[in-house]
Chains A and B, each alone.
Chain A
Amino acid sequence: MRLNQCYKLLFFIALLPFLSSCFEVIEEISMKNDGTGDVVLTINLSQSKTKVASVMLLDSVQGYKVPSKQKIQQELNEAVAYLKKSEGITNVKSNTDFNNFIATISFSFKDVSNINNITKNILAKQKIKATNTSLYSYNKTSKTFNRQYQAIGTAKTEFNKLKPKDKAVFNGATYTSIYRFESLVTSSTNPASNVSKSKKAVMLRSNISDLINGKINVSNSIQLAK
């Protein structure tokens, strides 16, 4: 839930508060043994496409301004431009499908720690406070992948201040993180996470509202076979 916060910014902060709805945020990180890797972030509003399309026809809903396609595209482009300039980040691509309301951003990194500050900075540019902090790290020698996740207390307070109608938007929303490795996974510390049959991937799914509320913690320490 780090980089995808920029999607939250682009799409749902402005859009979702009025969709009681289903949407998915997916974060995929593929780690190579040498510490480099790729990230694919997806936000999929397809399940709510009728509502989104209806809302897009309006100027504002429940007091929130509805961004136009152009505006969304522009902000996404800005995020891409920012990523391109970021240290250790290459191969940045983005794709939007306004028929199904699915957007993706993908890029490669030299070291997983390169992605640590990106979200916060993009959000800060848009004057939005991040709802959590996550630190990713990969130790080549010990072959451990770490994600240190910390929900920010104020995010919960802010969330609780929302009107029930607005909060409801997050009810059906899910967050999925998938980490893929070249080596086999020997252990994954987060009890909510699952290791794939092939033992080469770890998946964690949760409700976005639980994340914001701090009910669930997505910190994880994954040990790979040496």
Chain B
Amino acid sequence: MKKILFSFSLLLLFNLVKAQDLVKKIPANAFTVATIKGDNIFKLMFVKDFNESFVGKKLLEGTSKSLDKNFTTIEDFGINLDKNMYYFNQLTDSITYNCFLIPLKDATKFESLINNKDNKIKTTGDTKTMVLPDSTSIIKWNNNMMYFVTGSIKSSFFADSAKSAQYGIKDIRFQNDEATLADSAAVAVDSAYVTTTDEPMVEAVPAPPVKVKAKQKTATKKTAKKATGKKKPAKKKAAVKPKQEVEEEVIADAAMDVAEAVPAAERANADYDLYQQERAEQEAKQKRLAFTWMAAQAEQIFNGNYESIESNKSYTSSLDSKAIAELWVSSLQDVYNAVAPEFGTYGKSGLMKGYGSLNAKLFMDNKSFRISTGLELAQEQADSYKKIMNKKLNKNFLKYVNSEKAIGFMSYAIDTKAYLEELPKLMKQTYGSFLGARMDAEMDLGADLLSLLLDEEAVSKVIKGDALFVINGLNSKEVTYTTYDYDDDYKQKEVIKTKNETLPDFLFMFSSDDTRLINKLIKYGVNKNFVSAEGNIYKIIEKKSPIDIYFLIKDGIVFFGNSLTEIQAINSNQVKSQISKTHKNLLSKNNFSFLFNAKNLVGKVPASEIGGEETAKKFNSTLEKMGNVYMKSNPIKGNLVSADISAEIPNGHENALKYLFSLIENAAK
């Protein structure tokens, strides 16, 4: 009991520590979240080792040089290396924010990275802000974290005159009515100035009259609120809108006051130069607006109260404490629906139906690199896939894999019957709405027609849905070629010579319970001289193919291969199972699997066939450095389809990260 209590409190403690993580600063509506897990990385490689590594040295040297300082360790950058660093982005109909959240250990050290900081940094309480040149990005930090945001305005949004007018911005076209152009411009100038002057104070803008300044401040705050309000695009859109408009009016009012100051002369003559100038101005206004929104967004991150991404189940369930980096992309369907209205008639909601969030995780340990990816599906979709994937590879396939020699294999197993039955449904879900509701009847009809034409049951007997392709090593084969001999008079004589060629021995097999159709095909082939027969073994007579292909039907398995010996051995039951346990598991437990075993290829190809000793040496040394590469699909868990790719590291390396660093170092040499 004590133990349980203890572990429970540990868990609590762990959660508390977690709570300090910057993830709580990521808004719930972030579209993409990428994480680099400092603690997991520096478990694989001590900071000291990193500093002494090739990459570390380059980084430190580079930074020292560019800042004219002397950095000896990455800890000098002031970043808290034991915590997670985040990247996230937020999409709205009008602006996209790209943001980085970096944990800080020592803010003073971090500040030392900034040259001439006194001119650039603005301090408010314990928060410091720096605007990057050109006002396209903002860096804000306190003692615990650094936040970097850069925003880009969506031009499509401002192409909508009604929307852009809300912000005093006009989509200028050369043919525009003069008066409107000038008018809206006047308004726009002001609102934009109002919203920006507050920020660039650091840029030493001449101080405007006090009265105006006061107005600016209120306006800025409101736009700030508005901008953050905008971050909840999809669901609460309708609710947010009216509020925005009210705020807009406030801004417009403030703007109008100053608008009177604009000389009337400027309203004349919309010639091309003016148009150009106007356009540039409008663009500048958009940029300033983007800046205002960014500033507000950054402010919100530091001082606002909002729901964090931790409340998103899809996000939290995608996490794995062992991963060293993670990527999560919010539901494709939701995002599509949120953005779709902006596409006008093209934006039909409902497309991407059934596709949820996407995630990828990177793992490194003492044996391998592994990338694990997952995609969430809607219940209906997941059910379809579950039915399709409810199939295991034919166990009899396994004895034809020779693990000692195999260079690679690939297998898949699906339930053909379920696939044919579920396919129309899946197509309808994914593309149905694209064709419009009126097409529903046609889609249904198509699905029924398919079922009528195909006897799913019968098809699934001919092709059961599982197959294995394996390369069981290389074989040397004698081939003939034409060349020339020359007599005493150097007269050319065509001669046929032979040479040895190394070719991979491949074997492909699939299960079939009903081979009648295949037998008929063979009979037809024999009659038409496409196929020659030798007992049970058939050979395809097709000149196009550079290699001979044999096939055989035995015990419900159809075999294709280019090695007659191998096919003969199968025919006479002489194949002994030589599969390793790992390979057996990989093949029999997954619907899809892939293996490339580079080691079995080392030194197997004669140098003369790769283009000389030197090339062969390089080829072999590259292969030696490669461990096994695997790919596999995992069984569907809940609504999540997932797959893993992993690459083993060669012996003699402590872990995958260190191995990666050594590879980079070698490549740079």
Q: Do the two shown chains form a genuine complex with each other?
A: yes
Q: Footprint of B on A, CB under 8 Å?
A: 20-21, 24, 26, 28, 44, 46-47, 49-54, 57, 99-100, 102, 164-165, 168-169, 171-172, 178, 180, 196-198, 200-203
Indicate if the CB atoms of A54 and B489 lie closer than 8 Å: no
What are the 3 A-B residue pairs with the smallest beta carbon separation, nearest first?
A168-B611, A20-B611, A53-B546
> What 0/1 readout, one digit per residue, does chain B (602-641) give for beta carbons within 8 Å of chain A?
0000001111101100100000000000000000000000
Instruction: Report 29 cross-chain contacts, Cβ distance below 8 Å, ordered by A residue.
Output: A20-B611, A20-B615, A26-B484, A28-B492, A44-B482, A49-B481, A50-B501, A50-B503, A50-B546, A50-B547, A52-B546, A57-B544, A57-B546, A100-B481, A165-B611, A165-B615, A168-B610, A169-B611, A171-B612, A171-B615, A172-B611, A178-B490, A178-B492, A180-B490, A197-B489, A200-B489, A201-B490, A202-B490, A203-B486
Residues of chain A within 8 A (CB-CB) of B614 are 164
Tell me the smallest distance from the CB of B204 to a CB of chain A, in Å: 52
Interface centre among B489, B490, B545 (most CB of A within 10 A): B490
Indicate if the CB atoms of B481 and A46 lie closer than 8 Å: yes
Indicate if the CB atoms of A100 and B490 lie closer than 8 Å: no
Indicate if the CB atoms of A102 and B547 lie closer than 8 Å: no
Indicate if the CB atoms of A21 and B611 lie closer than 8 Å: yes
Q: What residue of chain B has the Cβ atom nearest to residue A48's Cβ? A: B481
Residues of chain B within 8 A (CB-CB) of A201 are 489-491
Q: A50-B503, A53-B545, A164-B615 are in contact. List 20 more A-B contacts (CB 8 A).
A: A20-B611, A20-B612, A21-B611, A24-B483, A26-B484, A44-B482, A44-B483, A46-B481, A47-B481, A49-B546, A50-B479, A54-B547, A168-B612, A171-B612, A172-B612, A178-B492, A180-B490, A196-B489, A201-B489, A203-B490
Tell me the smallest distance from the CB of B611 to a CB of chain A, in Å: 3
Determine if B543 is an interface residue (Cβ-Cβ < 8 Å). Answer: yes
Residues of chain B within 8 A (CB-CB) of A49 are 479, 481, 546
Residues of chain A within 8 A (CB-CB) of B483 are 24, 44, 46-47
Indicate if the CB atoms of B609 and A20 lie closer than 8 Å: yes
Separation of A53 and B545 alpha carbons in the complex (Å): 7
Q: What residue of chain A has the Cβ atom nearest to residue B543's Cβ? A: A99
Contact partner of B482 among A28, A102, A197, A203, CB < 8 A? A102
Determine if B499 is an interface residue (Cβ-Cβ < 8 Å). Answer: yes
| Contact residues of B between 506 and 550, Cβ < 8 Å to A | 543-547
Determine if B126 is an interface residue (Cβ-Cβ < 8 Å). Answer: no
Separation of A172 and B608 alpha carbons in the complex (Å): 9
Tell me the smallest distance from the CB of A208 to a CB of chain B, in Å: 13
Contacts known (A20-B609, A20-B611, A54-B546); A198 close to B489, Cβ less than 8 A: yes
Tell me the smallest distance from the CB of B616 to a CB of chain A, in Å: 9
Interface centre among B481, B488, B489, B609 (most CB of A within 10 A): B481
Tell me the smallest distance from the CB of B646 to a CB of chain A, in Å: 27
Residues of chain A within 8 A (CB-CB) of B615 are 20, 164-165, 168, 171
Q: What residue of chain A has the Cβ atom nearest to residue B618's Cβ? A: A164
Residues of chain A within 8 A (CB-CB) of B492 are 26, 28, 178
Residues of chain B within 8 A (CB-CB) of A52 are 546
Separation of A26 and B491 alpha carbons in the complex (Å): 12
Tell me the smallest distance from the CB of A99 to a CB of chain B, in Å: 7
Indicate if the CB atoms of B499 and A47 lie closer than 8 Å: yes
Q: What residue of chain B has the Cβ atom nearest to residue A52's Cβ? A: B546
Indicate if the CB atoms of A171 and B611 lie closer than 8 Å: yes
Q: What residue of chain A has the Cβ atom nearest to residue B490's Cβ? A: A201
Tell me the smallest distance from the CB of A201 to a CB of chain B, in Å: 4
Indicate if the CB atoms of A196 and B488 lie closer than 8 Å: yes
Indicate if the CB atoms of A197 and B488 lie closer than 8 Å: yes
Q: What residue of chain B has the Cβ atom nearest to residue A198's Cβ? A: B489
Q: What residue of chain A has the Cβ atom nearest to residue B489's Cβ? A: A198
Tell me the smallest distance from the CB of A66 to a CB of chain B, in Å: 13
Separation of A44 and B609 alpha carbons in the complex (Å): 17
Separation of A178 and B485 alpha carbons in the complex (Å): 13
> What 0/1 readout, one digit per residue, does chain B (580-613) give for beta carbons within 8 Å of chain A?
0000000000000000000000000000111110
Residues of chain A within 8 A (CB-CB) of B544 are 53, 57
Tell me the smallest distance from the CB of B471 to a CB of chain A, in Å: 14
Residues of chain B within 8 A (CB-CB) of A203 are 486, 490
Separation of A25 and B662 alpha carbons in the complex (Å): 44
Separation of A106 and B503 alpha carbons in the complex (Å): 35
Residues of chain B within 8 A (CB-CB) of A46 are 481-483
| Contact residues of B between 163 and 210, Cβ < 8 Å to A | none
Q: What residue of chain A has the Cβ atom nearest to residue B501's Cβ? A: A50
Indicate if the CB atoms of B610 and A20 lie closer than 8 Å: yes
Residues of chain B within 8 A (CB-CB) of A51 are 546
Separation of A164 and B611 alpha carbons in the complex (Å): 10
Q: What residue of chain B has the Cβ atom nearest to residue A20's Cβ? A: B611
Separation of A214 and B499 alpha carbons in the complex (Å): 30
Tell me the smallest distance from the CB of A75 to a CB of chain B, in Å: 21
Tell me the smallest distance from the CB of B664 to a CB of chain A, in Å: 20
Tell me the smallest distance from the CB of A176 to a CB of chain B, in Å: 8
Separation of A44 and B484 alpha carbons in the complex (Å): 10
Tell me the smallest distance from the CB of B590 to a CB of chain A, in Å: 29
Indicate if the CB atoms of B488 and A198 lie closer than 8 Å: yes
Q: What residue of chain A has the Cβ atom nearest to residue B486's Cβ? A: A203
Residues of chain B within 8 A (CB-CB) of A102 are 482
Tell me the smallest distance from the CB of B501 to a CB of chain A, in Å: 6
Separation of A50 and B362 alpha carbons in the complex (Å): 40
Residues of chain A within 8 A (CB-CB) of B488 are 196-198
> What 0/1 readout, one digit per residue, does chain B (461-486) give for beta carbons within 8 Å of chain A?
00000000000000000010111101
Separation of A47 and B479 alpha carbons in the complex (Å): 9
Residues of chain A within 8 A (CB-CB) of B489 are 180, 196-198, 200-201
Separation of A215 and B479 alpha carbons in the complex (Å): 33
Residues of chain B within 8 A (CB-CB) of A197 are 488-489
Separation of A78 and B488 alpha carbons in the complex (Å): 36
Tell me the smallest distance from the CB of B18 to a CB of chain A, in Å: 47
Tell me the smallest distance from the CB of B207 to a CB of chain A, in Å: 60
Tell me the smallest distance from the CB of A67 to a CB of chain B, in Å: 16
Residues of chain A within 8 A (CB-CB) of B547 are 50, 54
Separation of A115 and B450 alpha carbons in the complex (Å): 64
Residues of chain B within 8 A (CB-CB) of A196 are 488-490
Residues of chain A within 8 A (CB-CB) of B609 are 20
Separation of A126 and B484 alpha carbons in the complex (Å): 30
Separation of A203 and B610 alpha carbons in the complex (Å): 29
Separation of A164 and B501 alpha carbons in the complex (Å): 22
Tell me the smallest distance from the CB of A194 to a CB of chain B, in Å: 8
Residues of chain A within 8 A (CB-CB) of B610 are 20, 168
Separation of A169 and B543 alpha carbons in the complex (Å): 25
Tell me the smallest distance from the CB of A106 to a CB of chain B, in Å: 12
Separation of A103 and B138 alpha carbons in the complex (Å): 66
Separation of A99 and B546 alpha carbons in the complex (Å): 9
Separation of A169 and B611 alpha carbons in the complex (Å): 6
Separation of A202 and B615 alpha carbons in the complex (Å): 34
Separation of A171 and B608 alpha carbons in the complex (Å): 10
Separation of A53 and B486 alpha carbons in the complex (Å): 28
Q: What residue of chain B has the Cβ atom nearest to residue A97's Cβ? A: B482
Tell me the smallest distance from the CB of A85 to a CB of chain B, in Å: 28
Q: What residue of chain A has the Cβ atom nearest to residue B609's Cβ? A: A20
Residues of chain B within 8 A (CB-CB) of A164 are 614-615, 618
Residues of chain B within 8 A (CB-CB) of A47 are 481, 483, 499
Q: What residue of chain A has the Cβ atom nearest to residue B605's Cβ? A: A20
Residues of chain A within 8 A (CB-CB) of B501 are 50
Separation of A52 and B609 alpha carbons in the complex (Å): 13
Contact partner of A100 among B482, B499, B503, CB < 8 A? B482
Separation of A50 and B479 alpha carbons in the complex (Å): 9
Tell me the smallest distance from the CB of A174 to a CB of chain B, in Å: 10
Separation of A203 and B491 alpha carbons in the complex (Å): 10
